[in-house]
């Protein structure tokens, strides 16, 4: 018995699932599939979770690093808060510029996972755009825990939401572009190697 049949033997309440003769059969993704069909497909969901997890790990790691630097090296001295604020600002800048690099790296894996270009592009765009926002939100939560006090939070998440969405667009585009480039030139290289 397959894992799909064990998890939901009747195939009920699952998008893209057809039940024929007691078996669960997933709808195949084609180039004509809609964006919502592609995003709701379990294979795409796994790719989105993979990308989101990488961004979350990096955001959490950098946030914990900021906490450790603040607690271990800066302490409560006279200029410590000023230095902490400067480090947090540098960290935020690093996050903005590291997002497209992560998008390019994850795009290579996504391009290998999916044989359909449309599925790879949508997974890369949504995963990298959403992952970028997730990474910054997680890091900001850690950084704000350093700066809770009389001055309040260093970064207000509600004020950052609109700029984060705008900043996520180039990251998503880099993911899509890298997926496209990888697919285009990988097939060319494989064809050349076969000749």
Range of the domain at 48: 31-194
pLDDT at 179 over 90: yes
Total tally of structural domains belonging to the chain: 2
pLDDT at 13 over 60: no
User: Predicted confidence band at 19 (pLDDT cuts at 50, 70, 90)?
Assistant: very low
pLDDT at 116 over 80: no
Mean pLDDT of 105-115: 88
Looking at the structure, tell me whether residues 132 and 184 fall in a common domain.
yes
Nearest Cα residue to 179 out of 135, 131, 116, 136? 116
pLDDT for the residue numbered 189: 57
Alpha-carbon separation of residue 39 from 48, 122, 127, 164 (angstroms):
9, 8, 10, 22
pLDDT for the residue numbered 55: 96
Looking at the structure, tell me whether residues 18 and 60 fall in a common domain.
no
Looking at the structure, tell me whether residues 12 and 55 fall in a common domain.
no
pLDDT at 135 over 90: yes
The count of residues in the chain is 195
Nearest Cα residue to 135 out of 169, 99, 101, 170? 99
User: Predicted confidence band at 11 (pLDDT cuts at 50, 70, 90)?
Assistant: very low
Looking at the structure, tell me whether residues 155 and 116 fall in a common domain.
yes
9-18, 55-64, 96-105, 150-159 — which is least confidently predicted?
9-18
Cα dihedral 118, 120, 121, 123, rounded to 10, equals 120
How crowded is residue 120: how many other Cβ atoms within 10 Å of its Cβ? 25
Looking at the structure, tell me whether residues 190 and 178 fall in a common domain.
yes
pLDDT for the residue numbered 18: 45
């Amino acid at each position: 018995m397959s894992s799909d049949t064990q998890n939901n033997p009747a195939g009920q309440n699952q998008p893209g699932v057809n039940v024929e003769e007691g078996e669960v059969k997933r709808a195949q993704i084609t180039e004509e599939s809609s964006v919502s069909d592609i995003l709701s497909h379990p294979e795409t969901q796994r790719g989105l979770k993979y990308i989101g997890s990488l961004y979350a790990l990096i955001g959490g790691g950098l946030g914990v690093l900021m906490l450790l630097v603040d607690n271990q090296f800066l302490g409560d001295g006279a200029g410590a808060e000023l230095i902490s604020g400067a480090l947090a600002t540098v960290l935020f800048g690093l996050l903005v510029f590291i997002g497209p690099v992560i998008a390019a790296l994850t795009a290579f894996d996504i391009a290998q996972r999916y044989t359909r270009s449309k599925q790879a592009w949508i997974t890369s765009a949504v995963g990298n755009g959403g992952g970028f926002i997730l990474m910054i939100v997680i890091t900001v939560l850690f950084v704000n825990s350093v700066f809770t006090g009389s001055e309040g939070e260093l970064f207000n998440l509600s004020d950052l939401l609109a700029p984060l969405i705008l900043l996520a667009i180039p990251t998503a585009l880099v993911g899509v572009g890298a997926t496209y480039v990888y697919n285009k030139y990988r097939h060319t290289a494989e064809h050349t190697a076969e000749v």
